Structures are given as C-alpha cells and as structure tokens.
Structure 1
Amino acid sequence: MRKVATAAMFAALSGATLGMTAAQPAVAAPSVNMEAVVKAAMWDPYKADQSITPGSGESVKVVEQALAAKNLLDKKQVDGHFGTSTVTAYQKYQKSLGHSGLAASGLPGKGSLTELGKGRYTVTAPIGVGSKTSLDGKTVNKRTADMIAAAEKKAGVKFTITQGSYNAGGVGASGGTHDGGGAVDISVNNISNKTAAVKALREVGFAAWHRTPSQGDWVEHIHGIAISDTDMSPQAQAQAGDYFKGLNGLASHAKDDGPKVKKVTWEEFKRG
C-alpha cells in the first residue's frame, strides 16, 4: 500500500530543510597581535612617512577599525600605520575608561586593548611587564629585570643600576624618561668594554646608548629603554622611536653612535 504524505510530514521535512539551509559556519573573530601593535606604536609615530611596521599592519588596522567604530578615529586613518592620529584616538579611548597620566599616553596596554576588542577581536601575543621589583635598590618591573639579567649574561659583566624606573620627577636630567617603566641607567665604573655592554643590551631588546658628560648634565653611564614596555613614559617612547630611526635618543636627534645590531624586542629575542 502506498503511503500518503500528510501535511504534518511535509511541515517536518520543510522545517528540517530550512534548518539545514539556515545553519551557517561560525566566522572566527579577527585576532590582534599585541606585540605587533605595541611595536608599531613605538615606531610609527616618529617616522617621516606612513610606512607600515613589518608584521604589524593587519593587527593595527583591526584596532583602528575598533577606534573608528567608537568615533574616535576618522575612517580614512584606518590604514595599518599607528601614527599620531591613532595615538591620539587611543589616548581618548584610554581616558574614556577612566585612565589618566601614563595609563592614558596612547600606548596600548593589555587591559585597554582587550576591552576595546570585546565583540570585535581577540588579543594574541600579550605583553606583560610584571610586578615591580628592585635592582641595586632601584625600582624596575620584572620584564626589565629579566632583560638586564640576559644582557649581563651576554656581556659577561654584572651591571650596577644607578637609576631605575617609575621615578617621576626624580631624575631631572632625564627629561621624564624614567617617569614610567622600562628605563634604566647603568654605571660604567666596572665595565671595561662599554660598546660590548651596549651591544648586549640592544641584542635583548633595549634601546641603549653610552652617555658621556659632553652630551649633557650627567656623569658617564649607559642609558637603556626597554622597547615595548607598556608602562613607559611618552619621553621614553620618543627615545625608542629615535632608536628605530637610527638616532641617538637625545634632544639633538643626532646619528646613533652605538653598535649596529638587529633591532628586536624582548619577546622576539626570547623566541630567537
């Protein structure tokens, strides 16, 4: 006997077909590589052009799209270049979260970058500076302390820290570079090969220079800025920008007088 399809059967079949048609594969949220974004924020604002920091363009563009969606950045500035307009927009975003001072410098931190990405992107390769600690009685963060230890091993010498980080207003001649994280001054009294010491610091991710009294109102020392330290002051950021441009990090913006190395971050050094 031939079975007769009922209205209920047609309805069931129709619903199943519609359900199969309506089901769409989930679209993964884009990811933002924090290392790449912060490196671009260190470098791009100080460039003479709009070039993209290698490996950072896509992640920066996603961040810029999120800022534009909040009407903090003009859509024509969504280009993958973390220039001054993006810095200003990000600073406005940080302030909208209630941040101030160094926490609203326009340099992305893990917290604000994650908050900005809610519903839009996920954060990969996060940078953490760690808690504050002490080297030779001077305050630094754990990331900086680890970098110093690695540079000491490379140089084969124990460094003595004479100025640390988070010292707002405490180092007059520094022009604010020690106000936030990542900044250190190192004594040269026990260092016979100063060039080798500066090279070692650069190889682990510092923008570092040998400073002499002829350059400013200070005693001879080695000055270092831990690239991509998300706690650093705007003045320290400018020195990192100078370093990437091949300059000396001083007000003169003269040619870099230090050893030539491949410019890397701490995270890149650890992987390499």
Structure 2
Amino acid sequence: MLVAVAVLSGLVLTTAQAHAATPSAATPATTATLPAVDMEATVLAAQIDPRRADNTLTPGAHDSVLAVEQALEARHLLDARWVDGYFGTTTITAYAAFQRSLGYTGLDANGLPGATSLALLGQGRFTVTHQIGPGAKLQRDGYTINTRTQNMLTAAENILGFHLTLSQGSYNPGGDPTSAGTHDGGGVVDVNIDGMSTTTRTDVARALRQVGFAAWVRNPSQGNWPWHIHAAAISDTDLSTQAQNQTGDYYLGFNGLANHGADDGPRIPIQTWEQYQRTH
C-alpha cells in the first residue's frame, strides 16, 4: 500500500503529519495561547471583594481577575501594586475609568465588567467565557425590569406555585429616596406581600434566593417603608453601585442595610441565576 509523503527540509512526513505541521488559518496559534477570563466569576468578585474587611479572594475568580487587572495596568489605569487577583474598590474604579474611555456613562460605567467592555479590554490578551448580561428591558406590573430579572422571577414563581406582584421595579433613579439608590439600575425589585402570612413571606424570600436574588423581608421598623420583600439580582451587570454593595454584603452574611446588621433572611446555599440554571 502506497503512503503519500511530503518532503520538508529533508525530512520525509506522511500526509497527515504534513498537515499537522502547518498551522490552520482558521485557528491561529496565538488564539490558543490566550488565557480565558470567566466573566461570571469576575463579575461576582467585583461585587464581593470591595465589601470584604480583608483581602480574601473570591473562590474561582483569582486568575480571571488577575488577567483583567493586568490588562488595566497595560492601559495605565491600574497601578502594579493592585494587580493581585482581588477585585477591590481600586480595581472597580480602574474598570469604570476604562468604561468611560470607551464613551460609556451612567450604568454602563459602573465598574462591573460588561460583555462588550470585557471583550474590548481583552483584545490580544484574553478570551471571555461564561458571558452574562441583563438582556432587554421590559414591563412587568407597570414597572421596568430587564429580561434576566423577569426570568428569575418566573423561576421563583414556579417554585412557589403562585404569581408575585411588584411594588417597585428597576431603572428608577431617584424614584424612591428610601431605597438609597438600589433601584437606580437594573436587577432590583420590591415584591408586594400584602395578605401574606409570616411563613409565606419567608417562603417567597427563600425562593427568590434559590434562583439568584439577594432577598430580604423588609418591615417598617427598619426604615420609612411598608412591609415588602426587597430583591437584588446577583451579578446583574446593570446593578447600581448601592445594589452591588448589597449583593456583596449578602454573600458575607449581612442584611444589606446601612446598619450592616446580620442577615435576617432564610439561610440557604448562595448561588447566582446562572448557577441555578445549570442545576435545573
């Protein structure tokens, strides 16, 4: 049986070997060497790390955050001493500066990596995996929310077996001074709990937490507001700064209020919407 051969620099190669020796134009060698940045892990770290009292790293995020920080340093937006795999307040500030350099303003320059800005930052340096995003805006109960939040609420309703009615939505800057800016961006809603028993209120908060919200039952003794459930969608890249702080506090066992008290909601394993989807 004859075997096709190719002669290269005096060496005799089989046809298969000759093809293997020639890099494919469809898969450049440089692409294979680029590190991958896990967007899910990076965004999560950007919420939790700034709220820590120490420099504990967010599990699974170090390498991705480090690659982002190295890219920010290369653009002279972050000093080398802060390139450490910890997405603290200084890295948040640097990332927001990068977003502004792209012409972004408002929520688009909130310091949380978005899919577009992260891809632009990584050009020639890293690829982006596990991309996440808020999706398009829509109306629910007369309030504006985004598609990701709507999907999360629907999943919580499926767990509970009944409909949840909102008493406040997202993207409502200055609309409710008592909310301290948490509803200024995306991912944050208040759920009406009129007529619910104490047990049902807790069940709703638990279901919201199961699908990826930082959720608490709020009562009038805590602030100038009626009874309601406040819920912030973890890792919504449109979160206002105040809502980012709440989701970070939730991971660290706090109640998301200015008094920085202990979490008073049902304690369950914390997960994001994307993590919930992978197991259901």
- Once the 2 structures are TM-superposed, how far is the Cα of residue 13 of structure 1 from its aligned partner? 4.8
What does residue 159 of structure 2 align with?
Answer: 154
Instruction: Please tell me whether residue 213 in structure 1 is matched to residue 220 in structure 2.
Output: yes
Q: Secondary structure at the match of 2:85?
A: coil
- Once the 2 structures are TM-superposed, how far is the Cα of residue 159 of structure 1 from its aligned partner? 0.7
Structure 2 counterpart of 1:201, one-letter code: L
What does residue 26 of structure 1 align with?
Answer: 29
Q: Take 2:155 and 2:9, find their aligned partners in 1: how far apart are those partners?
A: 67
What does residue 195 of structure 1 align with?
Answer: 202
Q: Take 1:224 and 1:208, find their aligned partners in 2: how far apart are those partners?
A: 4
Q: Take 2:96 and 2:86, find their aligned partners in 1: how far apart are those partners?
A: 16
| Aligned positions of 1:132-143 closer than 5 A | 132-143=137-148
Structure 1 gaps, min length 5: 1-11, 17-21
Structure 2 counterpart of 1:139, one-letter code: T
Contact residue 157 and residue 191 of structure 1 kept, 8 A:
no
Q: Take 2:196 and 2:256, find their aligned partners in 1: how far apart are those partners?
A: 22
Going from structure 1 to structure 2, the CA distance change for 1:13 and 1:159 (only over 3 Å counts) comes to: closer
Instruction: Please tell me whether residue 254 in structure 1 is matched to residue 255 in structure 2.
Output: no
Which 4+ residue blocks in structure 1 deviate beyond 6 angstroms? 22-25
Q: Take 1:151 and 1:69, find their aligned partners in 2: how far apart are those partners?
A: 43
Q: Take 1:49 and 1:196, find their aligned partners in 2: how far apart are those partners?
A: 33
- Once the 2 structures are TM-superposed, how far is the Cα of residue 157 of structure 1 from its aligned partner? 2.4
Number of aligned residue pairs: 259
- Once the 2 structures are TM-superposed, how far is the Cα of residue 190 of structure 1 from its aligned partner? 4.0
- Once the 2 structures are TM-superposed, how far is the Cα of residue 26 of structure 1 from its aligned partner? 2.3
Q: Take 2:186 and 2:229, find their aligned partners in 1: how far apart are those partners?
A: 17
Which one of 119, 125, 149 corresponds to residue 120 of structure 1?
Answer: 125
Which one of 84, 87, 94 corresponds to residue 92 of structure 2?
Answer: 87
Q: Take 2:9 and 2:221, find their aligned partners in 1: how far apart are those partners?
A: 87
Contact residue 177 and residue 234 of structure 1 kept, 8 A:
yes
- Once the 2 structures are TM-superposed, how far is the Cα of residue 154 of structure 1 from its aligned partner? 1.1
- Once the 2 structures are TM-superposed, how far is the Cα of residue 75 of structure 1 from its aligned partner? 1.6
Going from structure 1 to structure 2, the CA distance change for 1:157 and 1:190 (only over 3 Å counts) comes to: farther
Q: Take 2:50 and 2:160, find their aligned partners in 1: how far apart are those partners?
A: 32
- Once the 2 structures are TM-superposed, how far is the Cα of residue 76 of structure 1 from its aligned partner? 2.1
Structure 2 counterpart of 1:222, one-letter code: I
Which one of 170, 173, 182 corresponds to residue 177 of structure 1?
Answer: 182
Contact residue 191 and residue 197 of structure 1 kept, 8 A:
no
What does residue 19 of structure 1 align with?
Answer: none
Q: Take 1:266 and 1:23, find their aligned partners in 2: how far apart are those partners?
A: 43
What does residue 3 of structure 1 align with?
Answer: none
Structure 1 or 2, whichever has the larger Rg, is 1
Q: Take 1:122 and 1:59, find their aligned partners in 2: how far apart are those partners?
A: 10
What does residue 52 of structure 1 align with?
Answer: 57
Instruction: Please tell me whether residue 144 in structure 1 is matched to residue 149 in structure 2.
Output: yes
Contact residue 168 and residue 178 of structure 1 kept, 8 A:
yes
> Could you tell which deviates more after superposition, 170-179 or 189-198?
189-198
Q: Secondary structure at the match of 1:215?
A: coil
Q: Take 1:246 and 1:271, find their aligned partners in 2: how far apart are those partners?
A: 24
Q: Take 1:175 and 1:76, find their aligned partners in 2: how far apart are those partners?
A: 33
Q: Take 1:136 and 1:95, find their aligned partners in 2: how far apart are those partners?
A: 34
Question: 1:23-55 CA distances to partner (integer Å, 9 max, x unpaired)?
Answer: 899252111111010011111110011111111
Contact residue 34 and residue 123 of structure 1 kept, 8 A:
yes
Please report the TM-score for the alignment, with normalisation by the length of structure 1.
0.90
Structure 1 counterpart of 2:259, one-letter code: S
Q: Take 2:97 and 2:91, find their aligned partners in 1: how far apart are those partners?
A: 10
RMSD: 2.2
Instruction: Please tell me whether residue 240 in structure 1 is matched to residue 243 in structure 2.
Output: no
Q: Take 1:257 and 1:134, find their aligned partners in 2: how far apart are those partners?
A: 30
Question: 1:198-233 CA distances to partner (integer Å, 9 max, x unpaired)?
Answer: 000001000000000000000000000000000110
Structure 2 counterpart of 1:114, one-letter code: A
Q: Take 2:9 and 2:55, find their aligned partners in 1: how far apart are those partners?
A: 58
